[in-house]
Chains A and B, each alone.
Chain A
Amino acid sequence: MPTYRDMTYRDILTQTCELLEPFAKGRRLEEETDLLTHVGLDSLQAMEVLLAAEGRFDMSIPLNVLAEVRTVGDLAEQLQQLIERR
C-alpha cells in the first residue's frame, strides 16, 4: 500500500494547492504563486492551512518552516521534507 513517503513533489504540490484552495478566493494557484501578495494569506489563515496540512499528512508541522515559505512551491517543498523526515 503506498504511503505518504511514496509521494512525489508533484503529488504534494497538487495536495498543497487543494489545501490552499479555500483561501484562494477563486485565484489560480501555481507553483510560483506568492502566498502573501497573490493569495493574500494572513497569519491566522496560514495557521489554518498548517492545521489542515497536519490533518491530511498526519504529522506535526513546526512553525519554523513558515520562515522558509513564500510561494505555493516553497510550502510543498517544506511539506515534502517533513514527510521524508518522518
Chain B
Amino acid sequence: MLDNLRAVATARRALLDEGVSPFGTVVEKVISATEGVIDGRRTILAGTNNYLGLTFDPVCIEAACAALREEGTGTTGSRMANGTFAAHAALERELAAFFRRREAIVFSTGYLANLGMLSALTGRDDVILIDADCHASIYDGCRLGTAEIIRFRHNNVEDLDTRLKRLGERSTRALIVVEGIYSMLGDRAPLVSIADLKHQYGAYLLVDEAHSFGVLGAHGRGLAEEAGVEEAVDFVVGTFSKSLGTIGGFSASDHPELDSLRYASRPYLFTASPSPSVVASARAALALLQARPELRKRLWENAHHLYGRLSALGFSLGPEASPIVAVMMKSPEDGLVFWRSLLAQGVYVNLVVPPAAPNGGSLLRCSVGAAHTPEQIERIAGAFAALR
C-alpha cells in the first residue's frame, strides 16, 4: 500500500526543487480570460484552453448568476434521480440541434463523457481501436469497459488499416476513436481517410472534438465539419470546459441507442449532474459560439500569429498551426528551467513531461484564445525570444 504514491513523490523530487511548481501552480487572482496573478506577478495566461475567451463574457456570467439565484448552487443528485432540471434537457436539445443530430446527452465533465461513452457503448465482443495519442479519458473509458482495446500509431492511417484488416469479420464490431485536435501537439486527425476506412470495414467512428468544438469548421462543429465527413461520425464527444468556458461534457449522435446509455453508463448515473449555473453558462456560450463567428476568426489569427513567431524564432513546434502551440524541449529539466523563466517574465504556459510528452522530452504547451490581444501574443513570443 502507498508504494505507488511513494514512487510518484520520488519522481517529483527528482525533477522539482523548492521553486514554483508547474504542476501545482496557483493562480492567486484571476484578472480576465487572459490574465491572472501568479507568484505575486501579473501574468498572461497562455495555457488555459479558453479558446473563445468566454469565461468573463457578461452574457454567460449573467446567465449563470440568474440560474444560481433561481435554481440554487447545485442539483445534489444524479441525472437518473433528482438531478435533471429543465435546463439540462434544454441544453441537450440545443446541442443536438447544433450538431444536427437526433440526440445529445450531457455528462458532468468531459472526462466523464469519455468514460461514460466508451464503457457503455461497447461490450465484451467488441473492439475499440484508439489512436495512440488519445487523451487519458479515452484510455480510462476503455479500461472501465469490457471491450478489447487496440492502439494504432498516432495519425497513421496505414496502421489503422492493417489493424482493421486483422480483425476480419470482427471489424463490424469495432469502434474507431480519434480526436479532432490532439491536446498535446495540436495536430488534427486525418479524418477523411479514417472515415473512408470506417465505411470500408463497416466499423463505427467516435470523434472527440474536445479541442476542436468551437474551433474548427465553418460553424464550429469541429474537425468532422471542417473535413466534410460528419455523416461518417457515429458519436461526437466534447467538453464545455474549453470553448464554452465552463465545465461539463456531452455526446451527440443519430443512433437511437444513445438514449439507453442513460441507464447503462455508470459515469452518467453515479455522479451529481452539472450545477444550474454551469448549465446556464454552457447554454449561453453555445448560443454565442453560433452568434459570434468572429471569435473563431480572432482565435485563428492569434494561433497563426504565435505559431508563426515561434517558428521564425527557430523553435521546434507541433506539425501544424493550431490554437495549441507546443514547443518541444529536449528534456524535462530543460523544459522546467524554460517554464520558470517564462513565468518570471509574466507568461504562463503548460509544462508537459513524459509520459504525456513524446520521446523523453518535454513540451511547453501554449494555448491561445480569441480574447488574447495581438500585443499579448507579441509579449508571449517576446518572452520565448528572450530565452532563445
Contacts and interface: CB of A to CB of B under 8 A. Distances in A.
Contacts of B167: 60
Contacts of B150: 60-63
B120 to A, nearest CB: 17
A64 B132 contact: no
Interface in A51-65: 51, 59-64
A43 B149 contact: no
A44 B356 CA distance: 9
A11 interface: no
A47 interface: yes
Given A47-B132, A59-B166, A64 B148 contact: yes
A63 B140 CA distance: 12
A18 interface: no
B129 to A, nearest CB: 9
A47 to B, nearest CB: 7
B256 interface: no
B148 A42 contact: no
B167 to A, nearest CB: 8
Contacts of B355: 42-44
The secondary-structure label for the interface of chain A is helix
Contact of A63 (B151, B166, B354): B151
Interface in A19-68: 42-44, 47, 50-51, 59-64
Nearest to A63: B149
B163 interface: yes
B363 interface: no
A63 B148 CA distance: 8
Interface in B102-154: 127, 132, 139, 142, 148-151, 153
Contacts of A63: 139, 142, 149-151
Given A43-B355, A44-B354, A60 B149 contact: no
A63 to B, nearest CB: 4
Contact of B163 (A42, A43, A60, A64): A60
Nearest to B163: A60
Nearest to B165: A60
A51 B355 CA distance: 16
A68 to B, nearest CB: 13
Contact of B149 (A42, A44, A59, A64): A64
Contacts of B132: 47
Interface string B328-363: 000000000000000000000000001100000000
A50 B151 CA distance: 10
A2 to B, nearest CB: 21
A1 B167 CA distance: 24
Contact of A47 (B127, B151, B163, B166): B151
A4 B355 CA distance: 32
A62 B148 contact: yes
Nearest to B3: A37
Nearest to B130: A63
Interface in B138-190: 139, 142, 148-151, 153, 163, 166-167
A42 to B, nearest CB: 7
Nearest to B360: A44
Give the 3 A-B residue pairs with the shortest CB-CB distance, closest first.
Answer: A63-B149, A44-B355, A62-B148
Interface of B: 127, 132, 139, 142, 148-151, 153, 163, 166-167, 354-355
25 contacts: A42-B354, A42-B355, A43-B355, A44-B354, A44-B355, A47-B132, A47-B151, A50-B151, A51-B153, A59-B166, A60-B150, A60-B163, A60-B166, A60-B167, A61-B150, A62-B127, A62-B148, A62-B150, A63-B139, A63-B142, A63-B149, A63-B150, A63-B151, A64-B148, A64-B149
